[in-house]
Chain A
């Protein structure tokens, strides 16, 4: 058992922004010295407003973007170009937009079995068996397997993306706003599915969201990011009950949580309606 499923050491990514021909380029510190540790089996929520560098961080963890500085360790191994192929079996992403994360020209069956083909796991028959098993697990009806992504709803597509991410049996999932492109009613279904899968398969999640409300019910710990830096980390209770950093407090106060003790708003009161009419 590795000590940490995911460890980020002083990770930074800077972008050079060219402001035209004559002015000198400025540096944007999209991610600036982030250190994080996620033990196996834990769900860490990474929250922060849009543009604070969450996706940039996820891309570096996935090996899609080279860091300017610092390193990423997956199950105690430093990621590099050399072991990226092997690490795909340990770490998989779920992206934000299920409308762009599935190749429109491939059938659902081809999409879910691609990881097995690329990694040469089993023969044709056992691959097809795993596809079926995996689509059962994520609640995807078998009749959809020979359809194209264009014929599926957003929620169904995100289930396909989850099945593809899990078919190599990775231990870690990096979810970059996996529900923010979905209808509100579907969001809860997908979040519940992710939680069930975590229980069943003992997964480690890095769960990225700009919405504290989404994160509240899922995570063990929360890390708050602001302008490329982590400003606060703690258990869910710490952050939601007793936030220290003013940015976290501001973020929390912007989340509308229904308070049962306050009762219904005045207007919905029967007598109010009666008086009005």
Chain B
């Protein structure tokens, strides 16, 4: 952490010299500056590398996985991972209580976590951004009604509602995605509302109005691109949030149903063996932690990168 800090402070005087004060002379192309900033930001770099590896593993799971993640083999139950003396190269991360290959299940599990994280964050992103932008732009009664909806949503304990709803409608991958998508939009709405309020009276918006641009043009083409950087940070936060909630729901048996290899479900299935075969729950648990950490690093990094440079 201290290294990241010293790194960013040592690089800032350089960018201050070469960047904004150069009065419009094209010193460094835009993408070059972005690339330098990206490489200079250690957290963002590490986070994106880890996230990239997990995404690639998820995409190429069918090719990477040494075994079928669903095939059970009673004679090969609870084989420990390779670093134990009883481990075998046949099952690098061992097998679970039904003899299914743990590495293969982990790889396929990455697909579930990422799918849920991304789609739930996108659904809630669309809902929250729409509500927030409308409230912020129109103000008045629209704002009052939408703010009331946001407050109502904030008053709901997410986990409790998710549990109740999951218990009511039954768990499945699609249900978990829709449920989380419908629950996690509050931060999008709050951020979209306040950033829109800041920009509503900007003169470039007034200029577009005088030109006779339609309200939808103004909202989508003039306003939205300017609040997107703030929303991208929220997307990463809510992705991590959704992934953890899915794991929680699945752990409690109310989320993704067996035999799907969700990481939360794997932790849940391993909990009976926690004391004598701790790797059964350590492996999916640690992977989950690394994924959430990587997403948060990327989110923090994007926020730092989007911090305005000079007057903007």
Q: Mark A98-141, 1 if CB is under 8 A from B, else 0.
A: 01111111100000001100110000000000000000000000
Interface-lining segment among A88-96, A210-218, A246-254:
A88-96
Q: Give the distance in Å from the alpha carbon of A99 to the alpha carbon of B202 in the complex.
A: 9
| Residues in B195-222 with C-beta less than 8 Å from chain A | 202-204, 206-213, 217, 222
Tell me whether A147 is interfacial, beta carbon within 8 Å: yes
B210 touches A62 (CB 8 A): yes
By beta carbon, the residue of chain B nearest A176 is B203
Q: Confirm or deny: B259 has a beta carbon within 8 angstroms of a beta carbon on chain A.
A: no
Which residues from chain A contact B30 at a C-beta distance below 8 Å? 148
Asked if A63 CB lies within 8 Å of chain B CBs, one says yes
Contact B210 A101 (CB under 8 A): no
Residues of A within 8 A of B202 (CB): 100-101
Does B24 lie within 8 Å of A156, measured CB to CB?
yes
Chain A residue numbers with a CB within 8 Å of B211 are 88, 114-115, 118-119
Q: How many Å from the CB of B20 to the closest CB on chain A? A: 7
For residue A190, give the distance in angstroms from its CB to the closest CB of chain B. 16
Separation of A101 and B210 alpha carbons in the complex (Å): 12
Taking a contact as CB atoms under 8 Å apart, the answer to whether A104 and B226 are in contact is: yes
Q: Closest approach, in angstroms, between the C-beta of A51 and any C-beta of chain B?
A: 17
Q: Once the chains bind, are B212 and A118 in contact (CB under 8 Å)?
A: yes
Q: Which of B132-140, B262-270, B304-312 lies at the binding interface?
A: B304-312
* Contact residue among B204, B210, B222 (Cβ-Cβ distance under 8 Å from A100): B204
In whole angstroms, what is the CA distance A82 to B30 when docked?
42
Determine if B157 is an interface residue (Cβ-Cβ < 8 Å): no
Residues 152-210 of A at the B interface (beta carbon under 8 Å): 152-153, 156, 161, 164
Partner of B311, one of A99, A105, A143: A99
Point out the residues of chain A lying under 8 angstroms from B206, CB to CB: 59, 62, 64, 93, 95, 101
How long is the Cα–Cα vector from A164 to B312 in the complex, in angstroms?
19
Point out the residue from A63, A99, A151, A153 that lies within 8 Å of B26, measured CB to CB: A151
How many angstroms between the C-alpha atoms of A59 and B203 in the bound complex? 11
Q: Which residue of A lies closest to B228 (CB)?
A: A105
A134 and B275 CA atoms in complex are apart in Å by 76
- Which residue, B30, B207, B209, has most C-beta atoms of chain A within 10 A? B207
- Which residues of B lie under 8 Å from residue A84 when comparing CB positions? 212
Asked if residues B210 and A103 are in contact (CB atoms below 8 Å), the reply is no
Chain A contacts for B209, CB-based, 8 A = 63-64
CA distance A272 to B311 in the complex (A): 45
B203 touches A101 (CB 8 A): yes
Whether a CB of chain B sits under 8 angstroms from the CB of A85 is yes
- Among A20-44, those with CB < 8 Å from B are none
Bitwise, B8-40 to A at CB < 8 A (1) or not (0) is 000000000000100110100010000000000
What CA separation (Å) do A150 and B312 show in the bound complex? 5
Task: Report the nearest B residue to A165, measured CB to CB.
Answer: B207
Chain A: CB-nearest residue to B226: A105
CA distance A153 to B206 in the complex (A): 21
Residues of B within 8 A of A96 (CB): 203
Min CB distance A130 to B, Å, is 15
Determine if B26 and A147 form an interchain contact, defined as CB atoms under 8 angstroms apart.
Answer: yes
**A-side contacts of B311, CB under 8 Å:** 99, 150
- CA–CA, A268 to B294, complex, Å? 67
Q: Which of B26, B204, B208, B212 lies in contact with A85, CB distance below 8 A?
A: B212
Q: State how many angstroms separate the Cβ of A221 from the closest Cβ of chain B.
A: 24
Q: Which residue of B lies closest to A62 (CB)?
A: B210
Contact call A97/B203, Cβ cutoff below 8 A: yes
* Residues A114 and B24 in contact, CB atoms below 8 Å apart: no
A62 CA / B208 CA spacing, docked (Å): 11
Partner of B204, one of A92, A101, A143, A153: A101
- Footprint of B on A, CB under 8 Å? 59, 62-64, 84-85, 88, 92-93, 95-97, 99-106, 114-115, 118-119, 143-144, 147-153, 156, 161, 164
Q: Write 29 A-B pairs (CB below 8 A) sorted by A numbering.
A: A62-B210, A63-B209, A84-B212, A85-B212, A88-B211, A88-B212, A93-B206, A93-B210, A95-B207, A97-B203, A99-B311, A101-B202, A101-B204, A101-B206, A103-B204, A103-B222, A103-B226, A105-B226, A118-B217, A119-B211, A119-B212, A143-B26, A144-B24, A147-B24, A147-B26, A149-B312, A151-B20, A152-B24, A153-B24
- What 3 A-B pairs come out closest when comparing CB atoms? A85-B212, A101-B203, A105-B225
